[in-house]
Amino acid sequence: MSAIQIERNPDEKRLQELGVRHWPIWTKEVSEFPWEYDTDEVCYVLEGEVVVTPEGGEPVHIRAGDLVRFPQGMRCTWKVLQPIRKHYHFP
């Protein structure tokens, strides 16, 4: 299984190529919860900050402006440090 991939502060052209602004939006308050990805997910964080720790892996710090790809099959814990708002897509 591949790792979490982060593209920090992609430019608007890259976001337009992906159609990010047309993806649905998901929000979550400060919290901590387990999660498992049953398919790949790509998201673009609009607001907030989170630490995602893959099972058996190192914590990954994600914040506003990050374009992130989570691999199918990954089990992890989400720790939302600041309320998060993100566009998401299942390619």
3-state SS assignment for residue 15: helix
The per-residue pLDDT for 2 is 67
Nearest to 50 by CA among 89, 88, 20, 16: 88
Alpha helices in the chain (DSSP H): 12-18
Q: Among the CATH numbers 3.40.50.150, 2.30.30.30, 2.60.120.10, 3.20.20.10, which is that of 5-89?
A: 2.60.120.10
What does the buried/exposed string (b/e) look like for 15-52 if buried means 16 or more CB atoms within 10 Å of the residue's CB? eeebebeebeeeeeeeeeeeeebeeebbbbbeebbbbb
CB 70 within 8 A of CB 41: yes
Give domain limits for the chain: 5-89
The tens-digit pLDDT sequence of the chain (91 residues) is 569 999 999 999 999 999 999 999 999 999 999 999 999 999 999 999 999 999 999 999 999 999 999 999 999 999 999 999 999 999 8
Structure confidence at residue 50 (pLDDT): 98
| pTM, full prediction | 0.94
